[in-house]
Chains A and B, each alone.
Chain A
Amino acid sequence: EDQVTQSPEALRLQEGESSSLNCSYTVSGLRGLFWYRQDPGKGPEFLFTLYSAGEEKEKERLKATLTKKESFLHITAPKPEDSATYLCAVRSNTGKLIFGQGTTLQVKP
């Protein structure tokens, strides 16, 4: 069964304290791994797509990496405005997106 597990569920950081979020997946035929950011009361905002092991994508303070079993979202020197829930999703060969439970990040000034 296709499955996505994110850890930790919640993460509190001080401003400037770098860390990583984990997304572990089991999927039949990966056709893409996606990271989203979701602010309270809003729809998910697309961040990155990764397709193959070893691939990396960067955007401002965020960098996403992919291995055969997991993906990491690295946050470098985070700011309070990075506080949000970060969602990971995978697309299997069925074509559907399967979402993880998300990691809620709080960055304190």
Chain B
Amino acid sequence: SAVISQKPSRDICQRGTSLTIQCQVDSQVTMMFWYRQQPGQSLTLIATANQGSEATYESGFVIDKFPISRPNLTFSTLTVSNMSPEDSSIYLCSVESTGGGEQYFGPGTRLTVT
């Protein structure tokens, strides 16, 4: 299994500002995934980030709102832009195991927008 860290662990931000969340993995991985977990809800995939190519966004999520970077095989960032209170959620990054199919998750970033 992979060890995944995220920064920050939590933040309180003002409406209209942006926050960049970092995800670091202890091994090289091809794909990294970003999820959102709204209060009391389950996980929803935002986008898949491959190193060396543009991220692939799911329906309902757009690059202008959630730009993603993937500069190398162990690191990715997700930016939440022009935030509103509806963006208050836990944001999680994950990686897929080689051959196993399961995904391993970071500890999450708890974002509150006021």
Contacts and interface: CB of A to CB of B under 8 A. Distances in A.
Chain A partners chain B? yes
A34 B103 CA distance: 9
Contact of B42 (A31, A43, A45, A102): A102
Contacts of A46: 1, 102-105
A99 interface: yes
A41 B92 contact: no
A43 B94 CA distance: 9
Interface residues of B, number: 20
A97 B41 contact: no
Contact of A97 (B4, B103, B110): B103
Interface residues of A, number: 20
Given A42-B108, A43-B105, A44-B105, A49 B100 contact: yes
A25 to B, nearest CB: 13
B101 A32 contact: yes
Contacts of B103: 34, 46, 97
Interface of A: 31-32, 34, 36, 41-46, 49, 87, 89, 91, 96-97, 99-102
Interface of B: 1, 4, 41-45, 58, 92, 94, 100-108, 110
